[in-house]
A and B are shown apart, each in its own frame.
Chain A
Amino acid sequence: MAEYKLNTPLTDEDMKQLVAGDVVFLSGTIYSARDAAHKKLVDLLDAGKELPFALEGAAIYYVGPSPAPPGRPIGAAGPTTSYRMDSYAPRLYSLGLKATIGKGKRNDETRQAMQDHTAVYFGATGGAGALLSNSITESTVIAFDELGPEAVRKMKVTDFPLLVINDAHGGELYAVPDRKAAGLK
């Protein structure tokens, strides 16, 4: 398993070299969006309007942070479960999105979209919200403020620790449950 330091915006070359299991330390600008924000982003696309941030080379972090206490840019900020964004992700990948960051399995369409558009899915450690917030140095709400924790934020990250779960070549890191070993037929 290789280790990479990558910066945003991400390129096809960046993504092509990655293989499921690689460790990536990501720096630059990433955007938060989760359930309600994704619906609004897709509504904007349907209406032919501009998105609050450019998708080309972008990374979206599926996160709904806790409120920032005084003196910190953000509260706890670990990943949320990604499958809920699967109905939107293929479209966003097709428009230039290079990476999504979350936890948990993606569906077939989303995995295929990563192969079709040279993109990846990164996993961050679920529940490590306090630890991961240390890699986020700035955070500003740039859209959908009314969504509270689900608003779209522009975040600056430094060496954000990620694991390649799905690569652009069809590889996946998650273990396949061994039902037989667990005693099922």
Chain B
Amino acid sequence: MRTIKTSEIVDAVANMCIKANTELPSDVRTKLEQAMAKETSDSAKEVLRQLLENADLAKSTKLPLCQDCGLAVLFVEVGDDVRIDGGNLREVINEGVRKGYADGFLRKSACDPFSRANTGDGTPAIIHFDFVPGDTLKIVYMAKGGGSENMSRCTMLAPAQGWEGIKEFVINRVAEAGPNPCPPIVVGLGIGGTFEHASIIAKKSLMRRLDDTHPDPDIAAKEKELEDAINRLGIGPMGLGGKTTALSVKMAVDPCHLASLPLAVNIQCHSQRHEEVVL
């Protein structure tokens, strides 16, 4: 049994909150640069140029990339042989989020759904725990902005609708979202499981690197097929038209009930802010 100090976790989470909100991941930057080389319209190029300049500026000034520093979403893999010294893991992670959002001058966007009163410190974070073999603690942080999250949907298709039904729903969803979620977007899809499971794996798929390839060649081909179809919609950067509507489509697939075909479409903005740490 390995013991991890709570202070180590608090600091690691706080640092991830700040880094993810101020430094554009290199794979996202590369995708934006590739998009810029491909675009022919002036407005599309100008938007991408501004986004790259914004990333440079955020890194040098430590200002957040976007004023919406998101709701903190964390995926935590707890090794069976890990013991947390002196604290409840959920509370310790929330403490890290509180510290990161305060120290980094990040916007606190958590509020009561009815009164809309802001909780004032960016918590409670949305935390998903998974228990795995080993003696390490892996924490993945994501800043999930409201504008793109609002464009996400979950639906229960009939099994007969199959891949064609999935494609139709996803493409229509992206078309309806149009300029709202800050395209070029990343599309996370959860297919299978149950109503809530599809949504969680859709979100988790957004944590993959944008330039990776799904290990299952059939799923990888489906991701590519959807990415190409979405990019033919012509929504383009910020909805002003162009060839880049999605930077990537990520798909997570799990078995489901024989009566069901759950589908979750989780839309992420061009910033795709996330970080991970293994303790």
Contacts and interface: CB of A to CB of B under 8 A. Distances in A.
Interface string A112-128: 00000000000101111
B61 A130 contact: yes
A78 B66 contact: yes
B269 A127 contact: yes
A101 B235 CA distance: 20
A19 interface: no
The range of chain A's interface size is 35 or more
Interface residues of B, number: 54
A95 interface: no
B271 A127 contact: yes
B96 to A, nearest CB: 18
Contact of A81 (B66, B67, B180, B271): B180
B179 A128 contact: no
Contacts of A163: 43, 240
Interface string B150-165: 1000000000000000
B241 to A, nearest CB: 4
B250 to A, nearest CB: 18
Greatest chain B CB density within 10 A among A127, A147, A177 is at A127
6 closest A-B pairs by beta carbon, nearest first, are: A175-B241, A104-B180, A126-B182, A177-B175, A66-B107, A131-B54
Given A78-B67, A81-B180, A174-B179, 10 more contacts: A65-B67, A80-B146, A103-B147, A125-B238, A129-B63, A130-B61, A130-B63, A149-B118, A177-B234, A183-B232
